[in-house]
Amino acid sequence: MFCMAIWLSGSIFTAVIATENFYTIDRLIAKSPNDVFRVVVETMENPPARDLLRYLSSELNRLYFQYWNLAQLPVGIIALRLVSSLPKSRMATIGIVAMLCVVLFLMVAVTPGILSVGRQIDFVPRNPPPPELRTFGLLHATYSALTVVNVVLGILVTLWIQKEHPSQEA
């Protein structure tokens, strides 16, 4: 249960952090509580300052996703080892194996593309939209959808573990 809590929490936290990184840029540019920051943004003018901050957020998100992909493997392997040792844990074991397969697919097939295409469209004007933007959108949607699949599987695995092995309270 602990491993599943880590796995689910990490997936949700990573998604929230990545999203908030970009929203924070617009919030800070619109109304930052830091006077020095406001002066720097006004000196640079809005579009270049925003582009620079979006680039920083993009690089941070790329790093977070790569680290999270790697961190999921040991968490998943430990969870698999613990669950597979329990009696009546077939569904939970299958669920964890499926989750690990999703993570491996993301690591090998999706994340490298997001990194590569994402870096190609950094600082590229969006009007008209560059052709790579569509590819990036598809890769990002695939990553997001598979992360949702993993969260749903993780919730199901947690419920199966709880159902088959309820805690013994005295």
Show me where the domains of the chain are located.
Answer: 2-162
Show Cβ contacts of residue 141 under 8 Å, excluding neighbours closer than 6 positions: none
* Confidence (pLDDT) at 149: 97
Show Cβ contacts of residue 39 under 8 Å, excluding neighbours closer than 6 positions: none
* Confidence (pLDDT) at 139: 97
* Confidence (pLDDT) at 87: 87
Residues of the chain with pLDDT under 70: 46, 168-170
User: CA 106, 110, 116: angle at the middle one, nearest 5?
Assistant: 135
**Predicted TM-score of the model (pTM):** 0.87
- For the chain, helix, strand, coil in percent to 5 are 85, 0, 15
* Confidence (pLDDT) at 169: 45
Q: What is the mean pLDDT of the chain?
A: 92
